[in-house]
Structure 1
Amino acid sequence: MGLNLMTFDIGEIEEGDFFVKFKVRNKADGFQWLLVSVYGPAQAEPKEAFLSELAHLCSKETLPLIIGGDFNILRSPSEKNNNNYDGRWPFLFNAVIDACNLRELELSGRSFTWANNRTVKTFEKLDRILTSTEWELKYPGSTVQALNREISDHTPLFLNTGDGSTSGGTPLFKFELGWFLRDDFFDMVKDIWTSTNFGQTPLERWQNKIRRL
């Protein structure tokens, strides 16, 4: 994990059994948040301890939070390319995510982040980035892109926070039913949707269309 010290100050650093937590302050505007790097156990026996530690970490923090790394747990059967799926740990993992009010940033570039070295390969999505609502309100334009896998059997994830110009405290999206009553509403939607088409992946192009709209 690396941080540009020209941009950020690092405060306290805390280590757990499965995480390292950094308290970070943006030098430009003083915004403080927590960056947590996790490594979940691959073996089944310590997974319960990992999830308990993750839940405890989220419940005690008050600052905006972003958690990323190799969780070594799937969230659904679609995150694996075969039917060898155990739903116990995904169920508990999703329960922790919901209880902590976290949201996963959508990944673009590929569906899976890990592959084994066998002849008949198994592909899984084990790496992800989770954020608290407060952190995402600060960086609503954030995107996550899968980079090329070079040495590791895991795919590096590149997080782009956007320009970070929002001050927070406002909803990410609000829809007013009264908009349907405007004569030019549907024409405006059509014009914006067809005129906005930038982004490297279909997901990024869709996100840009929604933001412009």
Structure 2
Amino acid sequence: MIGLIWNIRGPGQPGKIQCLCDTIAKANPDFIGFQEAKKELISEGLLRAVDKHNQFTWHFLPALNTAGGILVGFRNDMFEVIGFTNKKFGVVSTIKTKNDKFVWQLVVVYGSAYPEFKVDFVAELHDIMESASYPVLVCGDFNLVRQQSDKSSGTINPHFAFLFNDWVNRWALLEISISNRSFTWSNNQNNPIFAVLDRVFTSVDWDMHFPLSTLIALPRVGSDHTPLVLDTGARKVNCPKMFRFEKWWLAQAGFSQLVQDVWTKNGDASSSIENWRCKTRALRKVIKGWSINIEAAMKKKKKSLHMEFDILDVKSEQNHLPPNEFERMNLIKKKLDDIWKRKRLPSGRDLETEKS
């Protein structure tokens, strides 16, 4: 069972939706918890973009103006959704895994960045644990640190750290530590500050059911937070990919000529309908191979850029980057944005919905 937990910092920027789609494809999650959606309403266009095959059940906690907003989703073939409860700072989902009938609760939170609301946030965390009826997984952007080493500057609010640790200890929660990164957030400045703001906690009984769980961070691109991927150690079988026409193909050099060449070279059947079938069958076969090559080149380029960015990002957590490397990170972000912008939503109407 795979979970994707990420503060996405809003899906409204150009190329951001494709970035979400790429991250979902890379993680291949069974459940998703996005924070800071920054929207009061999630459009059908956005859900169709990130869930093209309608494989997930979705639930949304609206943002207050542009603050917060949480989107959770569960694969229909993996889970039976029992119910959702919206809190001020989080969503409590009660689900049952279909393979072993295990009932548990996923709590996705977004803690306020403002000091005046942090006490209320911690109080809500206590209330959630007190009312929990099943084993619990609590995750998200807490906007709190537990100790000085959780922040590169070492400057923390000890009162809030005490309240946070008191919640962890009082409910005997276990933290699943990130295995490949020291921090989960950066302010992206020339002299960056890093912090561990995104975390995953479990109750003891949840940990006993999934004792092999691990947590890794993906490259921090598309947001100032790293996406977190939780893996409980269970394996799953992937379904074969269905052929679908992608709108972004139309913008690729040589595509129109490819279609024209295939269309004119095929179709000598006796009837018009058989001619049509012959041409479309040949076109689908050729486009599928052409698309695989284009996608492979894109994926190779994105993978290379992700790896280079991640190396520089990890390096920046330890040492101040020289100006040329800092500029290189910004250039990589721009190149990735350009790749993501090439792909579009299924229709212009969906795109206009996202802009509104």
Distance 2:165 2:155 in 1: 19
User: TM-score, structure 1 length as denominator?
Assistant: 0.75
1:158-192 Cα distance to aligned partner (Å, 9 max, x none)? 0000139xxxxxxxxxxxxxxxxxxxxxxxxxxxx
2: distance between equivalents of 1:163 and 1:156? 20
The residue matched to 1:148 in structure 2 has which SS? coil
Which of 122, 129, 149 is matched with 1:51 structurally? 122
Q: Deviation digits for residues 127-157 of structure 1, max 9, x if unmatched?
A: 0000000000000000000111111100110
Is 1:16 the counterpart of 2:81 in the alignment?
Answer: no
CA distance in 1, matches of 2:161, 2:226: 20
Q: Which amino acid aligns with 2:124?
A: E
The one-character-per-residue Cα deviations of 1:27-81 (angstroms, maximum 9, x if unpaired) are 1111000001000000100000000000011012130000000000001101111
**Aligned match of 1:107:** 178
Structure 1: unaligned runs, 5 residues or longer? 165-213
Counterpart residue number, 1:30: 101
Helix, strand or coil for the counterpart of 1:108?
Answer: coil
The structure number with the bigger radius of gyration is 2
Q: 2-side partners of 1:136 and 1:99: how far apart?
A: 17
Identity over aligned pairs, percent: 38
Write the distance in 2 (CA, Å) between the matches of 1:67 and 1:5: 21
Which of the residues 206, 231, 242 maps onto 1:160?
231
Please give the root-mean-square deviation of Cα atoms over the aligned residues, in Å: 1.1
Secondary structure of the 1:107 match is: coil
What residue is the counterpart of 2:150 in the other structure?
79
Alignment-derived partner of residue 167 in structure 2: 96
* Contiguous gaps of at least 5 residues in structure 2: 1-32, 34-72, 236-356
Correspondence list, 1:51-200, <5 A: 51-163=122-234
**Tell me, what secondary structure is at the counterpart of 1:48?**
helix
Alignment of 1:193-208 (within 5 A): none
Partners in 2 of 1:23 and 1:85 — Cα distance?
A: 34
SS at match of 2:130: helix
Report which structure shows greater RCO (CA 8 Å, sep ≥6). 2
Q: 2 CA distance for matches of 1:84 and 1:50?
A: 21
> How far apart are the structure 1 equivalents of 2:203 and 2:144?
19
3-state SS of paired residue (1:46): helix
Offset of residue 118 of structure 1? 1.8
When normalised by structure 2's length, the TM-score is: 0.45
Matched to 2:97, the amino acid is N
More strand by share: 1
CA distance in 2, matches of 1:6, 1:122: 41
- The structure with more helix, counted as a fraction of residues: 2
Deviations 1:88-143 (A, max 9, x none): 11111000111111111011110100000221100000000000000000000000
Q: Distance in 2 between matches of 1:34 and 1:83?
A: 34
Q: Kindly provide the amino acid, as one letter, of the partner of residue 47 in structure 1.
A: K
The equivalent residue for 1:211 is none
